[in-house]
Chain A
């Protein structure tokens, strides 16, 4: 398992995709934080720093999931799945190593996004006279919950990639689901009651904010419940993918 994990680390770090993905997530976080800092009126109320941290989490978890998806589907796309399974014939070990790696990658990505939002947002907002309190309970909850969310989405990405081996289908499907489908579902009466239990809803529970401007249409889960549910989604996708898809013939 440790050799398989070390090989996965080497796979990730010997191509450029991870660098560009981190640049993209941190860049988008900086952009949103800068816009929020520059244009929020000091006496508008609400929690602009929490809004920026929320945005950082969203960019982070989408990119973490995409990295996880690429980590699995890239093997099929570039046919490296052949040498991978020749060097580690136990396929579950390969998927397990990828889960560990992309959880860690998500952790790093979450830290970078949060760090970027705090490093730019806190001084800028303070300078404009906006009341920011980094130590507030709800702010701390978003920072820690957000980092955990991003990390768990790395696992979800591996799971989705294992289920849907086609890279384009998996990446596009994932993004459409996270950005469109869950938003639509959460707006439909009755159906929206399921939203807290969907992956995006579970993530929203994990990083719930007290900002009255960011209101969910339904009651979200408690942060710890959201976290456990999110992790369960990631692991179930990965296990089902391993049992159904990854075991198939490599031709």
Chain B
């Protein structure tokens, strides 16, 4: 594989904290020029994965590289990768401007950059205030200013929308979009799909430390699957006809109402016509991404029964539980 600058590659990554397997044989790739949503419920292993990518946490096995290099080995790491982790990484008695200038000095970046990045995140007026006076939303912005300091090609953001008001979230979405449009790699974690739905091109979904889905937002939407709801006084006959036609049929909550997946509305209507079944209602229902996300990240689905096995993960049908540690490639 060509180590393209700015490409994030996680390969066979695992991390155990004592008995707890926080990240379990995780592999995925993030391409430059895109916003990738890194999703999963709290405790799914998102933060641990990001910290391993940044050399703050040592993996139990596997590798995490940025442009083919582990973070600590990158010559000027802050000029290549910017990161926002927890929302309160600053001394309460230090001003925002001095906070940023400390890390500009540490990474050999001109001090004048401090005022630039503070302006970029809208903190110019608060630059000389002590960080302890900041609201949570301002702290998030200060964290973002730190990440932008080195004008990095890659941005890793852990729950950056936490604590932002709706206006702030809207601003953040546009901001991330503009960064990706400049060709940067943006990996943004969230426990809410809706938060990244509008800004992300791709998603990587975790549950219990394992990959449950990786793909484009469009693929996710189509796999959420359009379903067709159909009403008929001859529901039994219709159900049989639709099953024969290749659909998968279930009850939709009331007598005479069926929910069909695997067939388009046109095909359902045709099957009914061919079978001579009378229809009272025929409509297609849009995919419910939030519901799919919820299903994917339920513990019992974590082994990947939905939507096929994750690459390198267990085969479908394997019950989630302790798995033998396997590290296909990139063993440290």
Interface residues of A (CB under 8 A from B): 3-4, 6-7, 10-11, 14-17, 74, 78-80, 82-90, 249-251
Contact = CB atoms under 8 A, between A and B. Distances in A.
A78 B89 CA distance: 6
Given A6-B105, A86-B83, A14 B95 contact: yes
Interface residues of B, number: 34
Interface in B38-91: 47-48, 51, 54-58, 71-72, 74, 77-78, 83, 85-86, 88-91
Interface of B: 47-48, 51, 54-58, 71-72, 74, 77-78, 83, 85-86, 88-95, 98-99, 101-103, 105-108, 146
Counting chain B CB atoms within 10 Å of each CB, which of A10, A82, A85, A86 scores highest? A86
Nearest to A85: B56
Contacts of A17: 93
Nearest to B130: A15
A88 B56 contact: no
Contacts of A10: 98, 101-102, 105
B107 A88 contact: yes
B103 A83 contact: yes
Nearest to A97: B106
Contact of A88 (B74, B83, B85, B106): B106
Contacts of B98: 10, 14
Nearest to A7: B106
A86 B146 CA distance: 10
B86 A82 contact: yes
A84 B72 contact: no
Given A3-B107, A14-B91, 12 more contacts: A7-B103, A10-B98, A14-B94, A15-B94, A17-B93, A79-B89, A82-B85, A84-B103, A86-B83, A87-B103, A89-B74, A250-B57
Contacts of B54: 86
A249 B106 contact: no
A23 to B, nearest CB: 16
Contacts of A89: 55, 71-72, 74, 77
Contacts of B48: 251
B105 A78 contact: no
A249 B83 contact: no
B89 A80 contact: yes
Given A14-B102, A78-B90, A249-B56, A87 B107 contact: yes
B253 to A, nearest CB: 45
A251 B57 contact: yes
Contacts of A15: 91, 93-94
Contacts of A250: 51, 56-57
A199 to B, nearest CB: 29
Contact of B91 (A7, A80, A82, A85): A80
Nearest to A77: B91
20 contacts: A3-B105, A3-B106, A3-B107, A3-B108, A6-B105, A6-B106, A10-B101, A11-B94, A74-B91, A78-B91, A78-B92, A82-B56, A83-B89, A86-B77, A86-B78, A87-B77, A87-B78, A88-B107, A250-B57, A251-B48
Q: Which 3 A-B pairs have the closest CB atoms?
A: A7-B106, A89-B72, A87-B106
A78 B132 CA distance: 11
Contact of A7 (B51, B85, B86, B102): B102
A4 B103 CA distance: 9
Contacts of A249: 51, 56-58
Nearest to B54: A86
A173 to B, nearest CB: 23
Contacts of B77: 86-87, 89
A103 to B, nearest CB: 19
A7 B89 contact: no
A90 to B, nearest CB: 7
Nearest to B108: A3
Contacts of B107: 3, 87-88
Contacts of B57: 249-251
B120 to A, nearest CB: 17
B14 to A, nearest CB: 14
Given A80-B89, A250-B56, A4 B106 contact: yes
A62 B99 CA distance: 28
B106 A80 contact: no
A84 B106 contact: yes
Nearest to B132: A78
B108 to A, nearest CB: 5
Contacts of B71: 89
